[in-house]
């Protein structure tokens, strides 16, 4: 009975690996593979968002890789494929979106915020320097300071 349980456990565990295995792609012409790799490295996985389609293991990324491979076999140019993806999923699918009116603040915003922060820092430092004057005490102020230090009023 114990051996039967072990056998069932091993059978179940070994069967789960088949579920997660992806579909193997046949090796193609090296030029097509280079083109495929270049395209999939330029496009973002819409599910993972911080990975390229090439690196992602998500099911959606697998579907997008299949679409790209099919379009390459149909003879479409790289620009046609990217345009198709952008038309379908928006500029977000690109890792390096073009500078447009809509994406202008994404490109320029961090530099503007950095510049505003530096400007505010300089302004505050100058303002503080004007408030804190390091002038020597006159005779009356020195006498008053000495009396305070001695504990007199």
For the chain, the maximum distance between any two Cα atoms, rounded to a whole number of angstroms, is 103
Query: Averaged over 24-51, what is the pLDDT?
Result: 78
Q: What is the pLDDT of residues 74-118, one digit of tens each?
A: 888 888 998 898 888 888 788 777 778 877 887 888 999 999 999
Return the residue matching tokens 């046609």.
80
Q: How far apart are CA 52 and CA 36, in angstroms?
A: 12
Q: Which pLDDT does position 27 carry in this prediction?
A: 55
Query: Averaged over 28-34, what is the pLDDT?
Result: 80
Q: Which pLDDT does position 99 carry in this prediction?
A: 78
Q: At what angle do helices 78-89 and 30-42 cross, to 10 degrees?
A: 30
Q: Which pLDDT does position 24 carry in this prediction?
A: 46
Residue 10 pLDDT > 80, yes or no? no
| Cβ atoms within 10 Å of 78's Cβ, excluding its own | 14
């Amino acid at each position: 009975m114990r051996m039967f349980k072990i056998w069932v456990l091993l059978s179940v565990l070994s069967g789960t690996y088949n579920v997660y295995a992806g579909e193997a792609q046949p090796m193609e012409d090296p030029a097509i593979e280079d083109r495929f790799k270049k395209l999939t490295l330029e496009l973002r996985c819409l599910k993972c968002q911080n990975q390229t389609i090439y690196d992602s293991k998500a099911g959606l990324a697998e579907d997008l890789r299949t679409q790209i491979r099919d379009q390459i076999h149909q003879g479409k140019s790289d620009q046609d494929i990217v345009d198709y993806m952008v038309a379908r999923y928006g500029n977000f699918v690109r890792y390096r979106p073009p500078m447009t009116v809509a994406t202008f603040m994404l490109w320029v915003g961090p530099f503007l915020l950095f510049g505003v922060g530096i400007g505010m820092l300089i302004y505050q430092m100058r303002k503080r320097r004007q408030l804190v004057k390091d002038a020597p005490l006159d005779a009356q102020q020195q006498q008053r300071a000495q009396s305070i230090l001695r504990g007199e009023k």
